Structure 1
Amino acid sequence: MKLYKIKLIFTISILALCSIGCTNLDEESFGSLSPDTYYNTEEEALSSVVGVYQALSSVSSIDRPWRLQEYGTDEFVIPGRASGGWFDQDVIDIVTHTTTPVNADVNRAWYSLFQEIGIANAVLESLQASPNSENLKSLIAETRALRAYGYFFAMDLWGNIPLVTVARIDPNNLPATRPRAEVFEFIESEMLAAIQDLPSITEVDKASYYPRFTKEAIQAAMATMYLNAEVYTGTPRWSDAVSMCNEVINTNAYDLEADVVDNFKSTNEENSIELLSSFSIDPTKNAGNNQFILYTNHSPDKVKYNLPFTPANGFSTFPEALNRYEDQDNRKLLIEYGPQYYLDGVTPLTYPDGTQLDIIPVQDLVSAADNEGYKVLKYTPVGASFAGYNADNDLVLMRYSDILLTKAEALFRDSNTTPSVSLGLVNRVRERSNATPLNSLTIQDIEDERAREFLWEGHRRRDMIRFGTYFTGTWSFKTTTTEAFRGVYPIPEIQRSANPNLDQNLGYDN
């Protein structure tokens, strides 16, 4: 059963099931619905688990957890406009690598992720306490994986974080921050345990099971975690990353779509051969929304794409992102830049005064003109359905191309392997988009290919930190090197005020 079909049930059940969640850590979070009278069927239980998916979707939507994965990189910016719109000093600070513990966007991301963890804790406790728990093993595993995924993103963004695994928090014994390596071990153990009871993609009816987690979805998540293990723990885990990639590859259940944009269309649902994990969206049923088009596109795009709203012209990208692509690379078509035309490619797209829209790079981070800032149309409005300003394109979490490029990088970094296998995997991804095959491979080639393939998919900050370019690189509005401590965000001061047991990350405590 598709998740969007039961999201309305979740609205009722989760309100009864738990309170605000483990967000402000001095507040209690608890389950109040008796498991003795609920979860008699899998559908009843799933109606609560779906709420955890909905909470986790913030890592792929326009919400702050996704933004914090993109802010401060060379591919994402929200400039203030000369009209007065969009200016936010908190955003500017993150973009320029000068953020502080009082940054409101950082706090919103913290709140969102720990809310997801709190909901997962409450749902998990009720599932485990149900008299029917023996028949709910796969849903218990699913919820453990969802909670672990939330912890993965929190660990990635903040490093040392609290670990909370209960729905009720003792206000007299608030959780303290735990070392990043310890959090890594917890996530690893939870995901490995979940994999044991999750079904494989080869064992389910893909159309009806979509988009719930399978073994392969969590193996893909672990591949990402192992790829970054040296950053998180100080110890590389290249061979483990390869092993997890091979688990996915060896199912023969996945492949690359013919065109990368097929993954982001309104029809990118259960028929996709590339999506490993995603979040189902149907705004007409109050089941989530996709607002990338609203937040990104220019106002004249309303008529170009026959949209039922005027786009807000916020999210933008830099020339550095555009210039990575060869002209014939089909992925370059996902970026709007230069003089704009209607879909016929001939008729100029104009403002009401008749002036053609000509998109130029951001010149002023604080007071940009309306036409400054290249646009990324990864979630294409072509063919999408809308409820107000909400599109129905499903949100992507991980794709098979990530498995191929993760394996390529892990093999390349492993001194016991030859580069030829990695080269073949990278070229397989490049050839799909009509990019010229590479004759040889460097570590820079791998970083650049990931940047091309996963533009605005929430990978870039993590990748840049792993490759070191987050610190040593310079690009638009970042003209100096970055201190190493900025590889994690500061623990929000408002959270530390609520919970004195949270230690501030080094470098932010001055």
Structure 2
Amino acid sequence: MYKYLKLPMIAATCLLLSAGCTKLDEETFGSLSPDTYYRNEEEALSSVVGVYQLLSYNVDIGDPWRMKEFSTDEFIVPGRASGGWYDQSNVDLTNHVQDVNNNTVARAWVNIFQEIGTANAVLESLESSPNKDNLKTLIAETRALRAYGYFFAMDNWGDVPLVTIAKLDPKNLPPSTSRADVYKFIETEMLAAVADMPSVKDVDRTAYYPRFTKEAIYTALAYMYLNAEVYTGTAQWQKVVDMCDLVINTGAYSLMPNVIDNFTSTQQAASKEIIAAFTKDPTKNAGNNQFILYTQNALDQKKYNLPFAPANGYSTTQAALDRYEDRDIRKSMIQHGPQFYLDGKPLTYPNGTQLVLVPVKDIVAAQDNEGYKVLKYTPVGAAFSGFNADNDLVLERYSNVLLMKAEALFRTSRPSDALLLVNQVRNRSNATPLNALTIQDIENERAREFLWEGCRRTDMIRFGSFFTGTWAFKTRQTESFRKIYPIPAAQLVANPNLSQNEGY
């Protein structure tokens, strides 16, 4: 059982949040200035957890995650014939026709820059503390969190305002900074931060979980380098290999025997595969996981003895399901076809009809049984407070390190070495080992392994399938300018110094 910390109020911070992603005695602090606050690491950490909580929206069900997933071949949320769920902004993202007035994109911008702004405020408070010399690790951690936020901003919008102060002068608002310069800022900040962060080898892993270690930042850098050619025009494949090797060579990480255990509430803290995560425990006011609520069919209330009826929203596609062999354990995470109770009995409606899940046929008015379900964050073993579960949200896993290195090796003419790494991941899930490797194999393996983990859009852009592929209701080729989202209209009004992305 873990103890969590409530986020205090900080005079310099513009956002007040209740959050928890560390395991400390629960306390509530008042509104204090840097002169009287941060007398010790525990007080300082109580502010940093709020930055973690905001960053988690990029892998949570928040708009930053939804915005990315809607434009891929693994995610769809149809309107229901019974009412609810229809949202034109989301349909436009699904069809790759979003514009500057897209509400989902607008909310995602606010969420991501809230995290960046909060990190700026916390950093200023940490660096103003008379005890700042004793807070080097937390200062580095917060710099890394801010850089991570900028990675998501750069990945989604390209040129974005680069701000490192807590309060802006309304008469001197920041202009857009080029994507290449934001990339360089992220790289510089992460490399500087990692010098003052502990390695996973130097901490009590259970007690330190889920805070960032050096290896979490090396993994983040590897993923940014993997996409460097998209971001800057210059590939950085060797840097990908170098960062991955820094993680691999610790010997601290390995694949869990069953991939699903990385998402099972009772198994996550002991996982040697999870590199970075966000702890959730709604029973302690320490965040929540609502994937079950938003995803599952209402009949799953009976199947899993849930304290609520799920809302039957988020679904996946036939294209995602078809990537898996029947023998691949990962396929079991997609609920499709006839549904059953855990004891094997048919899962039925009150009239005795069995629930049979089929692909979405109508994106505007789908029937109750349309849409396959991704049960990655399983309710089995989870603790619930109302409709909130305590499964931790996973940000980075060791399987990503292996597949990133494999891709970089393949792209630098080392296919045999790459094949060994890909087959490590496949063997863990009982997928048939590959005898040879193509770039399409690597893209498909990443899609299988990281279903709904928030990286499919970025991967599809890198591989090119984002533009040339068709699936479900996306039936046309995609213009190249849509590799980034439009700057929301409201942000252009609020800050005339921003520049709209080409094509919008």
TM-score calculated relative to the size of structure 1: 0.95
Matched ranges for 1:5-20 at <5 A: 5-6=4-5, 8=6, 10=7, 12-14=8-10, 16-20=11-15
CA deviation after TM superposition for structure 1 residue 17, in Å: 3.8
Among 484, 493, 496, the alignment partner of 2:489 is 493
| 1:363-419 CA distance string (max 9 Å, x none) | 01111111000000000011111000000000000100000000000111113xx21
Aligned equivalent of 1:414: 412
SS at match of 2:396: strand
Q: Structure 2: which amino acid aligns with 1:149?
A: Y
CA deviation after TM superposition for structure 1 residue 68, in Å: 1.6
**Whole-Å separation in 2 of the counterparts to 1:211 and 1:92:** 35
| 1:214-263 CA distance string (max 9 Å, x none) | 00000000000000000000000000011000000000000000100000
Q: How many pairs align?
A: 490
Aligned equivalent of 1:174: 173
Give yes or no for contact 2:48–2:142 (8 Å, CA) kept in 1: yes
Give yes or no for contact 1:328–1:435 (8 Å, CA) kept in 2: yes
| 1:104-123 CA distance string (max 9 Å, x none) | 10011000000000100000
CA deviation after TM superposition for structure 1 residue 34, in Å: 2.2
**Whole-Å separation in 1 of the counterparts to 2:55 and 2:476:** 34
Stretches of structure 2 that go unaligned for 5 or more consecutive residues are 17-30
CA deviation after TM superposition for structure 1 residue 85, in Å: 1.1
Give yes or no for contact 1:268–1:393 (8 Å, CA) kept in 2: no
Among 418, 425, 442, the alignment partner of 2:421 is 425
**Whole-Å separation in 2 of the counterparts to 1:485 and 1:344:** 50
Aligned equivalent of 1:448: 444
Q: Structure 2: which amino acid aligns with 1:164?
A: V
Aligned equivalent of 1:27: none
Aligned equivalent of 2:28: none
Aligned equivalent of 1:401: 399
CA deviation after TM superposition for structure 1 residue 362, in Å: 0.3
Q: Structure 1: which amino acid aligns with 2:340?
A: Y
Stretches of structure 1 that go unaligned for 5 or more consecutive residues are 22-31
Q: Structure 2: which amino acid aligns with 1:432?
A: R
Aligned equivalent of 1:67: 66
Aligned equivalent of 2:125: 126
Matched ranges for 1:23-172 at <5 A: 33-172=32-171
Give yes or no for contact 1:322–1:332 (8 Å, CA) kept in 2: yes
Aligned equivalent of 2:347: 349
Give yes or no for contact 2:410–2:418 (8 Å, CA) kept in 1: yes
**Whole-Å separation in 1 of the counterparts to 2:171 and 2:15:** 18
Aligned equivalent of 2:231: 232
Aligned equivalent of 2:388: 390
Among 477, 499, 502, the alignment partner of 2:498 is 502
Q: Structure 1: which amino acid aligns with 2:42?
A: E
Aligned equivalent of 2:284: 285
SS at match of 1:445: helix
CA deviation after TM superposition for structure 1 residue 268, in Å: 3.7
**Whole-Å separation in 2 of the counterparts to 1:102 and 1:69:** 16
CA deviation after TM superposition for structure 1 residue 71, in Å: 1.1
Give yes or no for contact 2:261–2:268 (8 Å, CA) kept in 1: no
Aligned equivalent of 1:258: 257
Aligned equivalent of 1:24: none
SS at match of 1:276: strand
Aligned equivalent of 1:205: 204
- The CA RMSD measured in Å over matched residues stands at 1.1
**Whole-Å separation in 1 of the counterparts to 2:425 and 2:126:** 41
**Whole-Å separation in 2 of the counterparts to 1:218 and 1:397:** 11
**Whole-Å separation in 2 of the counterparts to 1:129 and 1:33:** 13
**Whole-Å separation in 1 of the counterparts to 2:403 and 2:267:** 21
Q: Structure 1: which amino acid aligns with 2:284?
A: K
Q: Structure 1: which amino acid aligns with 2:312?
A: N
Give yes or no for contact 1:177–1:503 (8 Å, CA) kept in 2: yes
Identity of aligned residues (%): 66
2:434 maps to 1:435: no
Matched ranges for 1:239-388 at <5 A: 239-345=238-344, 347-388=345-386
Aligned equivalent of 1:481: 477
**Whole-Å separation in 1 of the counterparts to 2:353 and 2:493:** 52
CA deviation after TM superposition for structure 1 residue 479, in Å: 1.2
Following TM superposition, the consecutive aligned residue runs of length 4 or more in structure 1 with deviations greater than 3 angstroms are: none
| 1:409-440 CA distance string (max 9 Å, x none) | 0111113xx21110000000000000000000
CA deviation after TM superposition for structure 1 residue 69, in Å: 2.0
Give yes or no for contact 2:141–2:197 (8 Å, CA) kept in 1: yes
